[in-house]
Amino acid sequence: MISSINASILLTDKEKEFIENHPIIKVGNDKFWPPFDFYEDNQAKGFSVDYLKELGTISGLKFEFIQGESWEALTNKLKTKKLDILTALEPTLKNKKFALFSDDILVTFESMITQKKYSNLNSYRDLYGKKVGIIKGYDLENEIKENHKQIDMVLFDTPLEAIHALSDGRIDVFIENSSVALYLMNKHFISNLKLNASPKFPNLDDGDIIKVASRIDYPELHSIIQKAIKLIPDDKKIYLHKKWISSINNLPNKTTIIALTKEEKEYLKNKKVIKMCVDPNWMPFERIKNSKHIGLASDYIKLFSKKLNIPIELVATSSWSESLQKAKSRECDILSLASNTPLRSEYMDFTSPYMVTPIVVATKIGIPFIDSIESIKEKKLGVVKGYSFNEILRGKYPNINLVEVDSTKDGLNKVESGKIFGYIDNSIVINDEIQKNYVSTLAVSGKFIYKSELSIATRNDEVILNNIFQKAIDSIDYVDKQKILSKWVKISYASKVDYTLVWQILCIVSMIWIFNIYRQNLLKKQNQELETIVNEKTKDLHNLNKDLEQKVKQRTLELEKLNKELTNLSNIDPLTGAYNRRYLYTVSKDLIALTKRGNQHLSLAMIDIDDFKKINDTYGHSIGDEVIKTIVNKISKNIRASDTLVRFGGEEFVILLNNTNLHQSMIILEKIRKIIEQCILKESIRFTISIGASEFMDNENNIEKLIKRADEWLYIAKNSGKNRIGNKVA
């Protein structure tokens, strides 16, 4: 068997011995997860199967593929050591107790799949109150059970069973890998379904990251796999991707055509060219190189330009701050990638995010894991000047010690030199830069609850431009997204080493070490004898402490879980999934304290549905409920993560706008009013809202007066003709 090993892979003696002693490696074959892993014509097939065969060719490992009746059953077999390898197992803390995980071999996306006739879903909140299909054993099952009781979860053994249940109307939504869903819909001629956005559950990654998981008691197997992965040629990886992933196309539900209105077409015709500003140094997302726009965003912009049939022209800048200034002065029409903030909303509109990634902090290697910004806010933390994180973090943590830097590279250099403790940025950007330039000195040491939600920003004096780019974003299918991500977010590979020279040097050094080793062994033996005595005395005490700590920890977790469930039930409106009045009075205390402490602004809007009794009397209460849920859905999509939407009672709603003055809130509220005005239910039912707005005053200690002023201005808006905003600077 050793003779079949690829000559380019360097194995240790232990690794060679492992291959000799384990002639067959048992691999779990998920029979029902095409195109990655499935069983057809009496043989294992798919991307993962072919990828492992390539690893076997390089390493000399021989694989036997063992079929499982379900994903849950395969996971249990790896856990009980009846299998040696499983692909696509999530690297969670629970799974890391029994498996070792390789580097990424593929990054894919999850999608919420629905029937075509239903409205698009944009986030996990849209799943509340719906029957949602989940595969047994997925980590998503526990996430919904523990944190999203509002979802009616229906469990299935295989994706195909769930696809048929969705097509037949037995469930409302099915959450699955987009490539798996597309493959099954195409193969089984199911044409009444469509892909929506990723659910973006706060505690889970948006994508499916495929790794090779191996038995935790086989470290040599893990190291052999790691070495073989680094030696797979790029052309072989491209071939496997084309064979299994890129070939899934021409499905009837792929949105490739943008349906523009006559007004939108006329606007583009007169516009002739769209001017664009970008971040000139933010790879792999984007940069300006030799006067050209490159990166992830560049590939999206090329698609948008082609679909809209209009040139999108780069406006060169030297920094992100300069790009923001040019957008503000109308020298550019759009920003290719930007997060929505109150300051930017004064001069730009924002589409829904088309890239969402976690915010992380990079530090020197060896720093313990950081689970919250609160724990490090007093340390010096670098953020690129002008980035949205700067505004968000200063709003949430007024005393945070932020240091503005010129670029990602500048921030990481300052961490490496010790001038700052950490650098905060998007996870993809930091990982890309660390792999290229800082792999031996820096590492990602913490992942925060905040996410980088990146949209296309359009000048707000030409509102129609935002509608056009929203349609362009909606037209991009998941296959194109995956191609773009795979192109720019790559696994790093070690460069080839001249091992002949290495062995020559090692031989010389070994001769020098032999004498020193002999002397050290004598001392080492004496030290070991002393350590054995000490270890035996402390072992019993350590075990007792460990058992006690485990019992306390388990009981604490159980109590926390119960408290969390009770809190969620008491704070959520069951019809809409929005917060209720009880939560408003609870959260407002913290917001008012933060507003006063940080010398910030806080605005409140009181919203009422116009002529709602008439809607109920004319169409019935079920339609009235649909109107309420539609309004909550539209408002939720057009406010920020830091804002709070509350169903105050009946047809009344409240929005708390954090760190926002009355002038800024009017921009947001006017946009919401126009969106509601344009809504149509059942092809003919229209409805509008009236809004009263007010701003918190420094001499106030609670929210009551703020609500009263907003309610008074709501009354004025109602009596002035409805479908308008009443306000007065407090």
Give me the pLDDT at residue 114, please: 95
User: Whole-angstrom Cα distance, residue 308 to residue 288?
Assistant: 23
pLDDT band at 189 (very low <50, low <70, confident <90, very high): low
| DSSP output for 481-509 | HHHHHHHHS----PPP--HHHHHHHHHHH
Give me the mean pLDDT over the 647-659 stretch: 93
Contact residues for 331 (Cβ-Cβ < 8 A; gap 6+): 275, 277, 315
> On the CB side of 645, how many CA atoms lie within 13 Å of its CA?
21
The residue type at 252 = P
pLDDT at 573 over 90: no
Please give the structure tokens belonging to residue 144. 């919904």
Give me the pLDDT at residue 186, please: 76
pLDDT > 90 in the chain, percent = 45
pLDDT band at 6 (very low <50, low <70, confident <90, very high): low
Least confident of 216-225, 260-269, 390-399, 617-626: 390-399
Yes or no: say if 314 and 280 are a contact pair by the CB < 8 Å rule.
Answer: no
Contact residues for 714 (Cβ-Cβ < 8 A; gap 6+): 606, 607, 608, 690, 691, 692, 726
Give me the mean pLDDT over the 16-42 stretch: 91
| DSSP output for 411-436 | HHHHHHHTSSSEEEEEHHHHHHHIII
pLDDT at 502 over 60: no
Give me the mean pLDDT over the 287-312 stretch: 92
Burial tier of 216 (Cβ tally within 10 Å: 0-12, 13-18, 19+): middle
DSSP state of 245: I
For 161, the enclosing helix (H) or strand (E) is helix 159-168
User: Whole-angstrom Cα distance, residue 703 to residue 38?
Assistant: 58
Give me the pLDDT at residue 396, please: 78
Task: List % helix, strand, coil for the chain (3-state, nearest 5).
Answer: 45, 25, 30
User: Whole-angstrom Cα distance, residue 123 to residue 125?
Assistant: 5
Higher confidence at residue 258 or residue 611? Answer: 611
DSSP state of 345: G
Sheet with 37-40, side-by-side order of all strands: 32-33, 37-40, 43-45
User: Whole-angstrom Cα distance, residue 413 to residue 302?
Assistant: 33
Give me the pLDDT at residue 526, please: 66
Give me the mean pLDDT over the 582-587 stretch: 88
Give me the pLDDT at residue 494, please: 30
Give me the mean pLDDT over the 638-660 stretch: 92
What does the angle CA 155 – CA 159 – CA 162 come to, to the nearest 5 degrees?
55
Give me the pLDDT at residue 269, please: 92
For the chain, give the mean pLDDT: 84
Give me the pLDDT at residue 558, please: 67
pTM of the model: 0.39
Highest mean pLDDT of the ranges 28-42, 290-304, 553-567: 290-304
User: Whole-angstrom Cα distance, residue 354 to residue 56?
Assistant: 38
Give me the pLDDT at residue 492, please: 35
Cα 447 to Cα 89, 205, 431: the distances in Å are: 21, 11, 12
Yes or no: say if 722 and 610 are a contact pair by the CB < 8 Å rule.
Answer: yes
pLDDT at 234 over 50: yes
| Helix 499-571 × helix 581-597 angle, to 10° | 120
Give me the pLDDT at residue 498, please: 39
Highest mean pLDDT of the ranges 306-320, 462-476, 501-515: 306-320
For 194, other C-beta atoms within 10 Å of its C-beta total 22
Cα 143 to Cα 108, 134, 558: the distances in Å are: 20, 11, 15
Bridge pairing between strands 25-30 and 579-580 = unpaired
User: Whole-angstrom Cα distance, residue 655 to residue 635?
Assistant: 9
pLDDT at 243 over 60: yes
Q: How confident is the model over 452-472, as pLDDT tens digits? A: 788 999 999 999 999 899 888
pLDDT at 338 over 60: yes
pLDDT > 70 in the chain, percent = 85
| DSSP output for 621-660 | HHHHHHHHHHHHHHHHHTS-TTSEEEEEETTEEEEEEET-
Give me the pLDDT at residue 391, please: 76
Burial tier of 381 (Cβ tally within 10 Å: 0-12, 13-18, 19+): buried
Using DSSP's 3-state secondary structure scheme, residue 210 falls into strand
Least confident of 125-139, 142-156, 507-521: 507-521
Higher confidence at residue 157 or residue 534? Answer: 157
pLDDT at 418 over 70: yes
pLDDT at 562 over 60: no
Least confident of 7-21, 354-368, 511-525: 511-525
Please give the structure tokens belonging to residue 80. 């009980």
Give me the pLDDT at residue 287, please: 92
Give me the pLDDT at residue 496, please: 34
Q: How confident is the model over 95-106, as pLDDT tens digits? A: 999 999 998 888
Give me the mean pLDDT over the 700-712 stretch: 91
Give me the pLDDT at residue 524, please: 64
Give me the mean pLDDT over the 324-342 stretch: 92
